[in-house]
């Protein structure tokens, strides 16, 4: 057992505990929940990964209470995971917002989706569903197709008043300006209400949920394999990355390992995804600064990636290429050439863009020292990925908890120092270079062999078998209609996705359909910090600060 757990278990006496490798799951009494989390935070588990709840109403084995709260924490070095679970009786639990800034929105989501109340929460209101919504959709007795119209957007002045009060601005005169959700600078789905003094932002409130498409509820109504296309649409700028995050979690639950070649192809495609996602980010970010030319320099190489992906999977954007236990098929003949084209054109696009901005006074003046967040705050908000690395914190799971042979690859973890817009941009430019380096290494070392595991309870049989044997037909039929059976367990798995830690918390009940699925989406945690980091900056700075967080609504709102 890693030493870090020793003091924890000495102090907390859990009702149940399970230990696997670096991770510990415990169940504690609801009475001690807050104290235990507080202690865990002081004993080295000071990074909040996620908060969610489970509704056991229709679970095959009825547990002690209908609802349980689940808190996932990570150690300071990011290597160990601690999951604290607690059954709650009266649908009420103490808020941990005073321990972690990230808890604010995460608890609001639990309240919104499950109706669990958090005492001492500063602002317990819905976050994903609209303000006229009645009921709590992730409760098992909420019927999935029960849609509710929303007649008008809410004013948000209730939250704004609290902000003004907090900053002692109640008596001053402000101009209120609504940015979004449909606004050139808000990318379609994010709304921010700002109180302005001239051009300066004195207080801000952000509202999300405009693209909440019910991923988690939909997942509960589909087999494990049918969920894969839904994962494409989480971060749709890098679909394959989400595919891998999901199937990897499921494979860990099933206790299977994909063959080496499959791992290598996955790494290659994940790094390509990282590149293409960063390209959209940089293109959009620079356009928001008024540097329009870069859009063509940086976006056009994406077409080369699309070309490759559509030859590979048939789709440009939403690839659904991965399968639980492998992938739909192997690389195509002659892919090497296409890969080379991608690399050449991406490098050229980046070089051209950098030539325009690297020594550009306007760019420096606008991006440097703007939208700063300290490493401490970023960690408290649960930031991850390039946004956190821009603050100088190495949280890269590829390096810290390597999977799929990342430890055998030569690449640098790119860090910033300042946590401003400039760092967030430059970190991504450099990450593209590093990803190219990884892709080249994979290409040079790619081994021959199988891409799928040989387990007929997971992987579909060959078409030839299906057409010629009754066993084949039955196998195909059962896997398609009943789904892959996953034995009852609760598991959290994650990868280092483009925007940071993308995790899936899955509760299985032995059937072929997930009982519950929660996505730990990096963008959700990033956006929660926006109102704080744009404060006291100019309005135009807020626009580029928002862009610099690379918020992808699909994963933010799910």
Partner 1 sequence: MDIKGATNLLGNEVITTKLDEAVGWARESSLWPMVFGTACCAIEFMSVAASKYDISRFGAEVVRFSPRQADLMIVAGTITYKQAPILKQIYDQMSEPKWVVSMGACASSGGFYDNYTTMQGIDEVIPVDVYVGGCPPRPEALIDALLLLQKDLREKKYNPNRHANFKGALDA
| Residue range at the interface with partner 1 (CB under 8 A); choices 32-40, 207-215, 372-380, 421-429 | 207-215
* Residue 518 in contact with ligand SF4, rule: CB under 6 A: no
In the complex, least distance from residue 331 CB atom to partner 1, rounded to whole angstroms: 23
DSSP state of 245: H
> Quick check: 63 binds partner 1 (CB under 8 A)?
no
210 binds partner 1 (CB under 8 A): yes
Answer yes or no whether residue 316 interacts with partner 1 by CB under 8 A: yes
229 versus 461: smaller Cβ distance to partner 1: 229
Sequence-distant (≥ 6) Cβ neighbours of residue 115 within 8 angstroms: 91, 135, 136, 139
Least distance between partner 1 and beta carbon 218 (Å): 6
CA–CA dist 490, 232 (Å, integer): 23
Contact between 73 and partner 1 per CB under 8 A: no
Q: Does 149 bind partner 1 (CB under 8 A)?
A: yes
Interface residues for ligand SF4 in 422-481 (CB under 6 A)?
none
Smallest distance from the beta carbon of 239 to partner 1, in angstroms? Answer: 8
Rg of the chain over CA atoms, in angstroms?
23
- Partner that binds at residue 183, options ligand SF4, partner 1, none, CB closer than 5 to 8 Å by kind: partner 1
**Residue 399 to residue 406: CA distance in whole angstroms:** 7
Q: Cα separations (Å) of 320 from 120, 155, 544?
A: 43, 39, 32
* Closest listed residue to residue 47, CA positions, set 377, 408, 272: 377
The answer to whether 233 contacts ligand SF4 (rule: CB under 6 A) is yes
Can residue 553 be called a binding residue for partner 1 (CB under 8 A)?
yes
Burial bucket for residue 166 (CB in 10 Å: 0-12, 13-18, 19+): exposed
Does 187 contact ligand SF4 by CB under 6 A? no
Would you count residue 405 as binding partner 1 (CB under 8 A)? no
Q: What is the DSSP letter of 538?
A: B
Return d(Cα 81, Cα 71) in angstroms, integer: 10
Environment class of 58 (CB within 10 Å of its CB; exposed 0-12, middle 13-18, buried 19+): exposed
* Residue 178 engages partner 1 in binding (rule: CB under 8 A): no
Q: Kindly state the DSSP code that residue 331 receives in the 8-state scheme.
A: P
Q: Does 60 bind partner 1 (CB under 8 A)?
A: no
* Distance in Å, CB of 318 to ligand SF4, minimum: 6
Q: Distance between CA 85 and CA 87 in Å, rounded? A: 7
Give least dist CB 495 to partner 1, A.
20
**Residue 407 binds to partner 1 (criterion: CB under 8 A):** no
CA atoms of 144 and 279, how far apart (whole Å): 36
Only segment of 18-26, 296-304, 334-342, 349-357 that touches partner 1 (CB under 8 A) = 296-304
Rounded to whole angstroms, the Cα distance separating 10 from 40 reads 11
Rounded least distance, CB 239 to ligand SF4, Å:
10
Distance CA 514, CA 510 (A): 9
CA–CA distances in Å: residue 70 to residues 13, 25, 27, 78, 116:
17, 10, 9, 19, 12
CB of 539 to partner 1, least distance (A): 16
| 399 sits near partner 1 (criterion: CB under 8 A) | no
- Least Cβ distance, residue 218 to ligand SF4 (angstroms): 11
Tell me the longest C-alpha to C-alpha distance in the chain: 80
- Cβ atoms of 457 and 484 within 8 Å: the answer is yes
Question: What is the CA 239 to chain-centroid distance, rounded?
Answer: 12
Q: Which of 212, 266, 274, 516 binds partner 1 (CB under 8 A)?
A: 212
Q: Which does 153 bind (CB under 5 to 8 A by kind): partner 1, ligand SF4, none?
A: partner 1
Least Å distance, CB 528 to partner 1, is: 18
**Residue 66 touches ligand SF4, criterion: CB under 6 A:** no
Closest approach of partner 1 to the CB of residue 244, in Å:
18
278 neighbors 432 (Cβ within 8 angstroms):
yes
Binding site for ligand SF4 (CB under 6 A): 233, 318
Binding site for partner 1 (CB under 8 A): 128-130, 133, 137, 142-153, 181-184, 187-189, 209-214, 217-218, 229-230, 232-233, 236-237, 280, 283, 295-296, 299-300, 302-303, 306, 316-318, 553-554
């Amino acid at each position: 057992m890693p030493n870090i757990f020793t003091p924890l278990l000495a102090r907390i006496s859990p009702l149940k505990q399970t230990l696997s490798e670096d991770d510990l799951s415990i169940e504690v009494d609801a009475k001690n929940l807050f104290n235990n989390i507080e202690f865990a935070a002081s004993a080295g588990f000071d990074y909040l990964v996620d908060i969610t709840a489970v509704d056991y109403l229709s679970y095959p084995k009825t547990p002690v209470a209908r609802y349980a709260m689940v808190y996932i924490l990570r150690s300071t070095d990011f290597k160990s995971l601690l999951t604290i679970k607690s059954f709650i009786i009266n649908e009420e639990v103490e808020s941990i917002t005073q321990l972690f800034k990230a808890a604010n929105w995460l608890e609001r989501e639990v309240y919104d989706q499950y109706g669990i109340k958090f005492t001492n929460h500063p602002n317990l209101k819905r976050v994903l569903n609209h303000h006229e919504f009645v009921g709590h959709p992730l409760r098992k007795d909420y019927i999935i197709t029960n849609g509710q119209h929303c007649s008008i957007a809410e004013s948000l002045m209730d939250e704004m008043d609290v902000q003004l009060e907090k900053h002692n601005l109640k008596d001053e005169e402000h101009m209120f300006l609504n940015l979004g959700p449909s606004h050139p600078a808000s990318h379609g789905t994010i709304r921010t209400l700002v109180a302005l003094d001239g051009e300066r932002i004195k207080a801000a409130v952000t509202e999300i949920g405009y693209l909440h498409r019910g991923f988690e509820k939909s997942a509960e109504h589909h087999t494990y394999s049918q969920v894969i296309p839904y994962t494409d649409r989480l971060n749709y700028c890098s679909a394959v990355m989400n595919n891998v995050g999901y199937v990897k979690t499921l494979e860990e639950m099933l206790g299977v390992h994909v063959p080496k070649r499959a791992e290598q192809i996955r790494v290659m495609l994940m790094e390509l995804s990282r590149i293409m996602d960063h390209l959209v980010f940089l293109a959009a970010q620079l356009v928001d600064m008024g540097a329009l030319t870069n859009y063509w320099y940086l976006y056009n190489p994406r077409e080369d990636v699309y070309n490759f992906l559509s030859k590979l999977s048939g789709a440009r954007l939403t690839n659904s290429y991965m399968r639980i236990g492998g992938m739909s098929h192997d690389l195509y003949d002659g892919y090497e050439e296409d890969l080379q084209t991608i690399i050449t054109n991406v490098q050229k696009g980046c070089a051209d863009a950098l030539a325009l901005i690297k020594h550009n006074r306007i760019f420096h003046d606008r991006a440097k020292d703007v939208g700063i967040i300290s490493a401490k705050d970023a960690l408290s908000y649960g930031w991850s990925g390039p946004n956190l690395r821009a603050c100088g914190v190495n949280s890269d799971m590829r390096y810290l908890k390597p999977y799929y042979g990342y430890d055998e690859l030569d690449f640098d973890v790119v860090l910033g120092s300042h946590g401003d817009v400039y760092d967030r941009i430059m970190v991504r430019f450099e990450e593209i270079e590093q990803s190219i380096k990884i892709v080249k290494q994979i290409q040079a070392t790619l081994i021959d062999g199988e891409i799928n595991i040989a387990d007929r309870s997971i992987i579909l049989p060959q078409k030839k078998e299906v057409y010629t044997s009754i066993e084949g037909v039955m196998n195909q039929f059962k896997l398609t209609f009943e789904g892959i059976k996953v034995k009852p367990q609760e598991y959290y798995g994650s990868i280092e996705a483009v925007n940071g830690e993308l995790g899936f918390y899955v509760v299985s009940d032995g059937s072929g359909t997930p009982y519950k699925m929660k996505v730990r989406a990096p963008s959700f945690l990033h956006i929660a910090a926006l109102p704080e980091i744009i404060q006291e900056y100019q309005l135009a700075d807020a626009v580029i600060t928002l862009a610099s967080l690379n918020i992808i609504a699909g994963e933010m709102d799910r």
